Amino acid sequence: MKISIGNDHAGPEYKKAIVKYLEDKGITVTNYGVDDFSSVDYPDYAHKVGADIDEGKADFGIVICGSGNGIAMTANKHQGVRCALCWTKEIAELARLHNDANVISIPARYTSIEQAVAMVETFLNTDFEGGRHQNRVNKITCA
């Protein structure tokens, strides 16, 4: 499994904990995020993760900013991305189960690091249910 991760200045500690969790599981991680709290523009990092999804360089993506909104909006501009803003494990599970999300957006200012790692674990360990949900997912992309 290959995962791309990107974050702005609100999420360096979250990113570090998530990358450690993933690498401990033997997962290959491409890290586009920043490691300090100096102000940066979240779209720069969301676009890198989105491009990796579009180009098949990553199976899943993780994006992190303060609210999770801006970075999710940016990631979703990429044709192959279905990015879900998640703040609980249950939402992360449903994002995969019902929406076949391939990128999770984490709001660093509204979740703990422990919650973020647990959401990533749930997200990656949940398969898309398909069935009636497949027809809905097929309607997401604009022609």
Query: If you average pLDDT over every residue of the chain, what do you get?
Result: 96
In this prediction, residue 139 has a pLDDT band, given cuts at 50, 70 and 90, of: confident
Catalytic residue among 47, 65, 78, 83: 65
Quote the CA–CA distance of 12 and 5 in Å, as a whole number.
11
- Bridge pairing between strands 28-31 and 83-85: unpaired
- The predicted model gives 6-21 an average pLDDT of 98
Quote the CA–CA distance of 73 and 68 in Å, as a whole number.
9
- Bridge pairing between strands 83-85 and 103-107: parallel
10 Å CB burial of residue 125 (0-12, 13-18, 19+) is: exposed
CB atoms within 10 A of CB 61: 28
Catalytic residue among 9, 47, 78, 98: 98
pLDDT tens-place string over residues 24-78: 999 999 999 999 999 999 999 999 999 999 999 999 999 999 999 999 999 999 9
Q: Is 98 a catalytic residue?
A: yes
**Global pTM value:** 0.96
Q: Is 47 a catalytic residue?
A: no
